[in-house]
């Protein structure tokens, strides 16, 4: 099992590039199942979750060709509209194929999602939405089975709570449904808007993506298309925090600053100097001491839950008491104990972490428990005195492309061992 070994204490400096968004690429790949014509996607990150999704798309019968960051998919004939457990047990995004398969084939059998152990990710929201579109859905033996032999019918759907994958899944189901579908309380994340851009280029009729109300006029079929995935805002945010935590001078290139406004505001409150040298570039420096800042995770455009762990690591080096409140997932503080092994002073009270700083961080042996927790351990290790060994880095490989070579390129002393 691979591990990362990091010798900390080196300020990061120079330029680091952002890959395409994993969280935008996964639904885009699932959307390729909606058409019999070829779809070409650019800027697909080479990470484990993407490889799993490509294996799944190949399993259902689509032709898949990968050339670096370019992926070409042709689902001319779907032989088996099923996502088996063996293929998707490590990936929570397996439910994204449910909507496309039911919409196009009239049936689907999808294993319940796996992935990070960070709390409930209720599939019931997807199921309720599909039922409102006319699908018959049942759960048995760890699978969701959905059938709509006469096709789906547009409807008004209001989510009880905001769900990103639920919004994406229902959006993909609705584009081939008869009539109009209105999705209320829809997720507003950039990844949802990017999926809509792809679907529109394939011939879908969608209005309001990126807002809380999305309207879809169903069409009878979709065509092929070519699309470039948006930059990964979570990877960009992780690098910005790493630059600040190591008190470096780091430029993050190839990002969308507008997608990071909540993080930028909190970094500036903490005393980090954030500038925009170019429309797709952010630069961070820390001219003085770091100050304590409170954060509460929220759906977009609020502070992203996927950056909570990394920001907590930053707050261990800020002067004063910081309160980190997690509202999206109920079990997303598993990194706190590992940060404490490195010297952090963190107390947990339900969904709130209380961080007292600054406390010196020192290298230690730590274990990654999920994707973003592993990222927090990496950024903390970059700032710690001495050597840190991070175990179970397969978690970080699910969402970060070539993270050790990227960080090494801006001065980090980091290597991978087995």
Catalytically active residues are 116
CA atoms 149, 174, 205, 201: torsion sign: negative
Burial label, 295 (beta-carbon count in 10 A; 0-12, 13-18, 19+): buried
Total residue length of the chain: 418
Q: Which of 282, 292, 394, 271 is nearest to 353 (CA)?
A: 292
SS3 of 151-199: the string is CCECCEEECCCCCHHHHHHHHHHHCCCECEEEEECCCCCHHHHHHHHHH
- For 333, other C-beta atoms within 10 Å of its C-beta total 23
Cα–Cα distance between 389 and 197 in angstroms, integer? 41
Question: Does residue 109 contact residue 81 with C-beta atoms inside 8 Å?
Answer: yes
Inter-CA distances, 343 with 214, 217, 287, 319, 366, Å: 47, 55, 24, 15, 12
CB under 8 Å to 67, separation ≥6 — which residues?
A: none
Cα–Cα distance between 395 and 115 in angstroms, integer? 9
Question: Does residue 307 contact residue 242 with C-beta atoms inside 8 Å?
Answer: no
DSSP 8-state class, residue 273: E
First to last CA, the chain: 6
């Amino acid at each position: 099992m691979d591990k990362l070994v990091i010798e900390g204490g080196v300020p990061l400096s120079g330029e680091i590039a952002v890959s395409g968004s994993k969280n935008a690429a996964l639904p885009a790949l699932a959307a390729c199942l909606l058409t019999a014509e070829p779809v070409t996607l650019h800027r697909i990150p080479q990470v484990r979750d993407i490889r799993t999704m490509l294996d799944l798309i190949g399993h259902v019968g689509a032709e898949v060709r990968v050339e670096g960051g370019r992926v070409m998919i042709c689902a001319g004939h779907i032989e088996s509209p099923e996502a088996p457990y063996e293929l998707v047990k490590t990936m929570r995004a397996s439910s994204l194929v449910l909507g496309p398969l039911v919409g196009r084939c009239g049936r689907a059998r999808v294993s319940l999602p796996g992935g990070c152990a960070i709390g409930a990710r209720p599939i019931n929201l997807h199921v309720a939405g599909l039922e409102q579109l006319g699908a018959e859905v049942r759960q048995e033996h760890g699978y969701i089975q959905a059938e709509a032999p006469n096709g789906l019918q547009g409807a008004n759907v209001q989510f009880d709570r905001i769900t990103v994958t639920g919004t994406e899944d229902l959006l993909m189901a609705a584009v081939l449904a008869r009539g109009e579908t209105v999705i209320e309380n829809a997720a507003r994340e950039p990844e949802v808007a990017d999926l809509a851009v792809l679907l529109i280029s394939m011939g879908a009729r969608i209005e309001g993506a990126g807002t809380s109300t999305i309207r879809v006029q169903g069409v009878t079929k979709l065509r092929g298309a070519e699309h470039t995935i948006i930059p990964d805002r979570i990877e960009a945010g992780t690098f910005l925090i790493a630059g600040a935590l190591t008190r470096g001078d780091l430029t993050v290139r190839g990002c969308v600053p507008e997608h990071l406004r909540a993080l930028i505001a909190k970094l500036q409150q903490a005393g980090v100097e954030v500038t925009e040298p170019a429309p797709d570039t952010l630069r961070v420096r820390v001219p003085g001491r770091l100050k304590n800042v409170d954060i509460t995770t929220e759906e977009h455009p609020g502070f992203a839950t996927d950056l909570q762990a990394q920001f907590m690591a930053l707050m261990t080096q800020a002067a004063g008491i910081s309160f980190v409140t997690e509202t999206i997932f109920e079990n997303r503080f598993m990194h706190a104990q590992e940060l404490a092994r490195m010297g952090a002073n963190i107390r947990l009270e339900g969904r709130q972490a209380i961080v007292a700083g600054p406390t010196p961080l020192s290298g230690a042996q730590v274990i990654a428990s999920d994707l973003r927790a592993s990222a927090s351990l990496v950024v903390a290790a970059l700032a710690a005195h001495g050597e840190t060994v991070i175990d179970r880095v397969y978690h970080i490989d699910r969402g970060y492309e070539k993270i050790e070579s990227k960080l090494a390129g801006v001065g980090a002393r980091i290597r991978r061992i087995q």
